[in-house]
């Protein structure tokens, strides 16, 4: 198996102006390391503002990174300029699918032109373009394609638009795709359709996918591995079944507990909820960033930042009390 993309200690800081002269540093990503393999989906989950979307964009070099390295199939692309990324075909090999099915398609362009644009940019021939566009539309089940190429985005439903988005991402034959909350803005009854489509295309095209979501339940069906992020850092990451069945980090445990399930028995229970709100990323807590909301935090958590350590096979956790939690001597709930 081949590693498609690898992020090494990637940091992304923003300079936020506040007041007359003062400026603060917003640490959107504070040292993230992860890698994605061919035919694999990595889900990144977390609350809004945890840096998961930034992570996706940085990995594609749509945003510059402050420090760290990004390797695409072994090649360091973290310092490349935009022109170089295009000329060396990296832009062909990495794509993104967006959350909003409405603002992600240029309303002035026909579906055919939207899907063809990437090919035009990379200098494909006319005949080739038409053929590729039709094949991509067929792949995302917008059939027959000739019926869709001349339509405008506003003539399509949310689900159909999202499929156009996927088609546009696919035409260049990418090896790495970032899917940024691809189903959060479409109706519940059509979500599964898009997710399953994404999964089957990933398999047939042998891509690596970074699936960004706030909804852990959807991650379960598409991702082989999960990374849980909190305030710009990875709190826990591992194989999906492992993380979901034996979550170790208190944040993961509580996050999983917050997710509602359609069970009528629930109304007699109170869900285990994380107290308070996430702290401002402009002024993150010292030590373990989760200690302010953690029910099992100890003094050490306040001062010392926990390292991401492998506690189970391919299952990493950044928590000082991971071992106690695993042994059951400390209970989060």
Partner 1 sequence: MNEALVVEGLRVYYRTERGAVRAVDDVSFGLARGESLAIVGESGSGKSTLGLTLIRALPTNASIISGHVYIDGEDTLSLNLADFRRRYSWRVIAMVFQGAMNSLNPVLKVGEQIAEPLIYNGGASREEARRRAMEMIELVGLPREFYYRYPHELSGGMRQRIVIAMSLVMNPRILILDEPTSALDVTIQAQIINLVKDLIERFSLSVIFITHDVSLASDIADRIMVMYGGQVVELGSAERVLGEAPKHPYTEKLLASIPRLRGETIPEFIPGRPPDLASPPPGCRFHPRCPYVFDRCMREEPPLFKVGEGHVARCWLHGE
Partner 2 sequence: MGIYAKLAFKALSLAVVLVSVLLFVVVIFGATGLSDRVLSSIINEEVRLYRQAVAGQIRDPQALEEAVTKYRIELTRSYGLDRPWYERLPSMLLRVITLDLGRARLAQTFAGSNLISDIIMERLPNTVILVSTAIAINFLIGILLGVRIATRPGSRLDKATSFLSAISYAVPTWWLGILFILIFAFYLKFFPYGGLYSSPPPSEPFMRALDVVWHATLPISVLVIVNVGLTIYVTRTIVLNIAQEDFVQVARVKGLPENLVNRRYIMRVAAPPILTNIILGLAGSIGGAILTETVFTWPGMGTLFFEAIVQSDEALILSLVYMFTLVYVVARFILEILYMIVDPRVRV
Partner 3 sequence: MSIKLEGGFKIFLSTWTGRAGLALLIILTGVSLYTITVLPIAEISSQWNDPQHWVDFPKSAPPVWVNIFSEKKLLETVTLTASGVQFSGNSKSIDMLYDYRGDSYPAYITLSVEKLRYTGTPPVLVLTIVRPDGYSVEAARLVVPPPRPGESPPIQRFEQAPERVLISSSDEFARNLAQLYGDRFDMPVSPYRIIQEGLQRYLMGSPRGGSTIPLNGVYRFTLTAIQGTGETRIERVRILIGGEAYGMMGTDVIGRDLATGLLLGFPISLFIGVITSVIVTGIGATLGLVSGYMGGKIDNTIQRLADFMNNIPLLPILIFLVFSFGAKLWIIIFAFVAFGWPGLTIVTRSIVLQLRETQFIESARAVGASRLRILARHIFPHIAPFIIAQIIFFTPSFILLEAALSFLGLGDPSLPTWGQILELGFRSAAVYLGYWWWILPPGILIIITSLTFVMISLGLEPVVNPRVRGRTRA
Q: How far is the CB of 93 from partner 3 (least distance, A)?
A: 10
Q: Which does 329 bind (CB under 5 to 8 A by kind): partner 1, partner 2, partner 3, none?
A: none
Backbone phi, psi, residue 332, to 5°: -80, -40
Please report how close the Cβ of residue 21 comes to partner 2 at its closest, in angstroms. 10
User: For the residues of 285-327, what is the DSSP string, one character each?
Assistant: PSSSTTTTT-TT--HHHHHSPPP-EEEETTEEE--TTHHHHHH
Neighbour-count burial of 1, counting CB atoms closer than 10 A to its CB (0-12 exposed, 13-18 middle, 19+ buried): exposed
With contact defined as beta carbons under 8 Å apart, do 29 and 54 qualify?
yes
Contact between 208 and partner 3 per CB under 8 A: no
15 vs 261, which CB is nearer to partner 1?
261
CB of 203 to partner 1, least distance (A): 15
User: Which residue in the set 19, 107, 276, 328 belongs to the binding site for partner 2 (CB under 8 A)?
Assistant: 19
Rounded Cα gap, residues 231 and 255, in angstroms? 14
Judged by CB under 8 A, the residue of 24, 122, 214, 220 near partner 3 is 122
Among 267, 327, 329, 333, binds partner 1 (CB under 8 A): 267
Q: In angstroms, how far is the first alpha carbon of the chain from the final one?
A: 39
When asked if residue 1 is in the footprint of partner 1 (CB under 8 A), the reply is no
45 versus 65: smaller Cβ distance to partner 1: 45
- In the three-class reduction of DSSP (H, G, I as helix; E, B as strand; rest coil), residue 121 is classed as helix
**Helical ranges in the chain per DSSP H:** 52-59, 82-87, 90-93, 111-121, 126-139, 145-148, 158-170, 188-205, 216-222, 240-245, 250-258, 299-303, 322-327
Token pair listed for 73? 């199939």
Please tell me whether residue 199 binds partner 3 under the rule CB under 8 A. no
**Residue 67 main-chain phi, psi, to 5 deg:** -155, 175
Helix (H, G, I), strand (E, B) or coil at 209: strand
259 is an interface residue for partner 1 by CB under 8 A: yes
285 binds partner 1 (CB under 8 A): no
Min separation Cβ 18 and partner 2, Å:
7
What are the structure tokens assigned to 208, written together?
């690596």
**Residue selected from 221, 285, 305, 326 as contacting partner 1 according to rule CB under 8 A:** 221
Q: Any idea of the CA torsion for 129, 133, 135, 136, to the nearest 10 degrees?
A: 130
Contact map string, positions 160 to 179, toward partner 3, x by CB under 8 A: -----x--xx--x-------
* Binding mask of the shown chain, residues 69 to 108, with x at each position contacting partner 3 by CB under 8 A: -------------xx-xx----xx-xxx-xxx--xxxx-x
**Of 2-10, 203-211, 268-276, 301-309, which part binds partner 1 (CB under 8 A)?**
268-276
Q: Interface residues with partner 1 (CB under 8 A)?
A: 47-48, 157, 159, 187-193, 195-196, 214-218, 220-221, 244, 254-264, 266-267, 270-275, 277
Q: Interface residues with partner 2 (CB under 8 A)?
A: 18-20
Q: Interface residues with partner 3 (CB under 8 A)?
A: 57, 60, 62, 82-83, 85-86, 91-92, 94-96, 98-100, 103-106, 108, 114, 117-118, 121-122, 165, 168-169, 172
């Amino acid at each position: 198996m081949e590693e498609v993309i690898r992020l090494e200690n990637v940091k992304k800081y923003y300079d936020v102006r506040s007041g007359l002269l003062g400026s603060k540093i917003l640490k959107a990503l504070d040292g993230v390391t992860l890698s994605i393999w061919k035919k694999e989906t990595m889900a990144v989950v977390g609350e809004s503002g945890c840096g998961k979307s930034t992570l996706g964009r940085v990995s594609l070099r749509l945003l510059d990174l402050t420090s760290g390295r990004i390797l695409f199939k072994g090649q360091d692309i973290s310092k490349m300029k935009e022109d170089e990324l295009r000329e060396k075909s990296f832009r062909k090999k990495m794509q993104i699918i967006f959350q909003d099915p409405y603002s992600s398609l240029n309303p002035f362009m026909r579906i055919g032109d939207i899907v063809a644009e990437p090919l035009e940019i990379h200098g494909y021939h006319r005949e080739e373009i038409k053929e590729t566009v039709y094949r991509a539309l067929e792949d995302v089940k917008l059939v027959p394609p000739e019926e869709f190429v001349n339509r405008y985005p506003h003539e399509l439903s949310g689900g159909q638009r999202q499929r156009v988005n996927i088609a546009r991402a696919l035409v260049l034959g990418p090896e790495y795709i970032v899917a940024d909350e691809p189903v959060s803005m479409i109706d519940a009854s059509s979500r599964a359709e898009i997710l399953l489509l994404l999964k089957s295309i990933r398999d047939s095209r042998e891509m690596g996918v970074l699936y960004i979501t706030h909804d852990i339940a959807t991650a379960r069906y598409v991702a082989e591995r999960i990374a849980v992020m909190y305030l710009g850092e990875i709190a826990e990451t591992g194989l999906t079944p492992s993380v979901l069945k034996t979550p170790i980090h208190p944040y993961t445990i509580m996050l999983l507990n917050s997710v509602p399930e359609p069970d009528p028995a629930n109304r007699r229970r109170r869900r285990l909820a994380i107290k308070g709100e996430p702290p401002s990323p402009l002024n993150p807590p010292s030590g373990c960033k989760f200690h302010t909301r953690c029910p099992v935090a100890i003094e050490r958590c306040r001062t010392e930042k926990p390292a991401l350590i492998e506690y189970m096979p391919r299952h990493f956790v950044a928590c000082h009390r991971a071992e106690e939690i695993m042994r059951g001597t400390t209970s989060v709930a």
